[in-house]
Amino acid sequence: MLTDKDILEIRKSFPILNREVSGKAMIYLDNTATSQTPNKVVEEIARIYTTSKANVHRGVHTLSQEMTDLQEQSREHIRRYINAASREEVIFTRGTTEAINLVASSFGSRFQEGDEVILTVMEHHANIVPWQLLRDRCGIVLRVVNINDKGELDIEQFRSLFNEKTVMASFCHVSNVLGTVNPVKEMVSFAHSKGVPVLIDGAQASPHMLIDVRDLDCDFYVFSAHKMYGPTGIGVLYGKRKWLEEMPPYQGGGEMIAKVTFAHTTYAELPFKFEAGTPDFVGIAAFSKAIDFIEEIGMDNIAAHEHALLEYTQEKMVKVPGLRIFGTAPDKSAVISFLVGRSHPYDLGLLLDKQGVEVRTGHHCAMPLMDRLDIPGTVRASFAVYNTFEEADGFLKALTRAAAILE
C-alpha cells in the first residue's frame, strides 16, 4: 500500500497539481474525464520535438528510423502490457471513440438487416452512436441490457437477449458514471458460448486495473492514453488477429497500402492496414512512458490507493443532508456520481469550482443512462493515484458548504 509519503513523492511529477483555482489550492477530481500527465511523459514529448522528430516508416534517414523504432517499441510495450498475442493486434487510433467507430464500421460491414447488437444502458455515447450509424446504414437492431438500483448490469437479461440473430455484444468494462466494474470475463465467455464476438470499452478500466486481453478472451478491447497519465489523441484498438485480417480497412491513405494504381489498391499488413495517414508518433512514443509510470508504481498499488480514497470519501459523503450516490455496486472503481437534494448539478459544480475543487457535471456522455436514472445529470468526483486523503477532506468540506448554500 502506498504511504502518504509515496503519494507526495508521486505528486512531484505533476506540477499542475500545485496550481490554484479561484484563489484556492486546486483539488483535481476530474480524472475520469482525463488524468494529469507526469513529467516523464511531457519530457519525452519535448525531447522528441527538440531532438528526433521525423515521420515514421517513410525514410531511410537516421531520424526517421529512430522515430519508427520509438513508435514500434511503444507498440511492443503496449502489447506486453495488455498481454496481446502479437504486435499486429495492437492498432493505434485517436482514442477509444475512434477505435469503436473503426470496429463498428469495418467489422460491422459484415452485418445485415435484422442482425442484432447487444449494448448496455450504461454505455458512453462512444459505444452507442457508432452502432446507430451502422444501424442507419444497414438496418441492424440494437438490444440494450438494463441495470439494477445499485448500477449493476442485469446479467440474466444480458443472457436472455442472445438469439440466432445476435452478431455482436459491445459493453464497457467499467462505467464512467456509476463506476461499476462489469463481470466482463463471464460475459465474454457467455457470448462466445453463443458464437458471438465481443468488444469491450476499456476506457475507464485501463487506468485502474491490469488488462489481460488473452485472459478476458475478448475479440476487441479499446482504450485511450489520456486517461492513463498519457498524452491526448492516442488510443488503442486491440483486436484478435483472425478478425483484423478479415476486416476491410477503415480509412484509406498513406501507410495502409501495399501497392496503389488507379485500377486497384492492395493493403499493407497488420497493424498498418488500419493506420492510414501520419500517426501521432510523438504521442505514441510518449504513451510508453506513461505505462512506465504505471508499472513503476504498480497497478495493484494504484488500485488499492484509489479504492481507499473511494471508501473514505463515500463513507463521509453520505452524511451530507440530501446526498444521493448513483452507483453503489460492491465492485466499483474510484468514481462517485452524486446529487444533493433538488439542486442542479451545474450549480453544485460551480460552487465546488469556486472552492478550488474540479469535478465534472452533466450527463457525462451517457444520456440514456441519465434517462434510466430519471435525472438530468450528476456531479462526478473521481480519483487518480496522486490524490490525497487531505484532498478528499478538502472536497468533503467544500461539498458540505456548497450543499448548505443550495439547501
Site residues for ligand PMP per CB under 6 A: 95-97, 124, 126-127, 172, 176, 201, 203-204, 224, 365
Tell me, what amino acid is at 251?
A: Q
The counts of H helices and E strands in the chain are: 14, 17
Give min distance, CB of 257 to ligand PMP, in A.
Answer: 26
Q: Whole-number minimum distance, CB 180 to ligand PMP, in Å?
A: 11
Residue nearer to ligand PMP on the CB measure, 122 or 340: 122
Is there a contact between 68 and 56 (Cβ–Cβ < 8 Å)? yes
Residue 153: DSSP 8-state: B
* Nearest distance, CB of residue 96 and ligand PMP, angstroms: 4
Output the smallest distance, CB 407 to ligand PMP, in A. Answer: 31
* Comparison of 147 and 203: residue with beta carbon closer to ligand PMP: 203
Which residue type does 49 have?
A: Y
At 271, is the secondary structure helix, strand, or coil?
coil
Closer to ligand PMP by CB, 7 or 250: give it: 250
* Dihedral over alpha carbons 226, 248, 251, 276 (to 10 degrees): 70
Measured from the CB of residue 151, what is the shortest distance to ligand PMP in angstroms?
Answer: 14
User: Is the Cβ of residue 179 or residue 394 nearer to ligand PMP in the bound state?
Assistant: 179
Quote the least distance from Cβ 93 to ligand PMP, whole Å: 8
* Exposure of 390 in the CB half-sphere (CA atoms within 13 A): 8
The least CB distance from residue 108 to ligand PMP, in Å, is 17
Which residue lies nearer to ligand PMP by CB, 67 or 198? 198
Are 104 and 78 in contact by the 8 Å Cβ rule? The answer is: no
Strands 27-28, 357-358: pairing kind: parallel
Residue (57 or 124) nearer to ligand PMP, CB? 124
**How many C-alpha atoms does 383 have within 13 Å on its Cβ side?**
27
Measured distance CA(404)–CA(348) in Å, rounded: 11
Residues 340, 403, 407, CA angle at the centre, nearest 5°? 85
Distance of alpha carbon 157 from alpha carbon 279, whole angstroms: 41
Alpha helices, DSSP H, located in 194-342: 213-216, 241-246, 281-297, 299-317
Q: Which is nearer to ligand PMP, 98 or 115 (CB)?
A: 98
Residue 131 in grid coordinates: 452502432
* Catalytic residue (choose from 138, 172, 218, 365): 365
Judge whether 90 and 221 are in contact, CB under 8 Å: no
β pairing state of 257-260 and 265-267: antiparallel
Q: Residue 9 corresponds to which amino acid?
A: E
CB 85 to ligand PMP: min, Å: 24
Total Cβ atoms within 10 A of residue 67:
23
- Please indicate whether residue 365 is annotated as part of the active site: yes
Spatial distance between the Cα atoms of 228 and 38, rounded to a whole number of angstroms = 10
CB 352 within 8 A of CB 335: no
With respect to ligand PMP, which residue has the nearer C-beta, 366 or 396?
Answer: 366
Enzyme catalytic residues: 365
